[in-house]
Amino acid sequence: MSLKDTSKKFEAKLKKIKVVCFDLDGILTDSHVWWASEEVGFNRTFCIYDGYGMKLLMKAGIKVGVITGGNSISVTKRTEQLGLDFCYAGNEDKREAYMDMMKKYNVTPEEVLYMGDELFDIPLLRKSGFSATVPNCSDEVKEQVDYVTIKESGKGCAREVIDLVRYAQNIHPNIGDF
């Protein structure tokens, strides 16, 4: 089944999405961190396709951000570089951040897409109007979501979910000829 066909399957839910939230480690990264230095802390690798997809959603008026338990310079720098609408970092109990984000953007849970991969993401996955995870996470997480991506952590999995939203909401980049 193509991604466009999959999007049609979830179209009713995806059309309602106004805010897209991602966990960072294990979704936007491949779940590996390495110690860089005392000044930098832990470092991560990000997928460029995910970043471009986030920018497409933001240009279309969808709020995009991160709610992550991790916190380091690499988290801050990547979210700032992308110009994300929000970044909540440093607390594995993400419920307060989620509620604050909903209040800030005046949205209901059914208008939120959340993508996470860890056990502490389950409350947000359950609450959100559309939820997604990656194939390399635990079965307990997979059992809670609407969609499990084909692509693995940090390898374009967020873009895969972004494209589901784009197809359902008819969001396309302005690509003109020259």
50 among annotated binding-site residues: no
Burial 52-71 (b: 16+ CB within 10 A, else e): ebbbbbbeeebbbbbbbbbb
**Length, in residues, of the chain:** 178
5 among annotated binding-site residues: no
23 among annotated binding-site residues: yes
DSSP 91-138: -S--HHHHHHHHHHHT--GGGEEEE--SGGGHHHHHHSSEEEE-TTS-
- The binding site for substrate comprises 25
- The binding site comprises 23, 25, 117
- The binding site for Mg(2+) comprises 23, 117
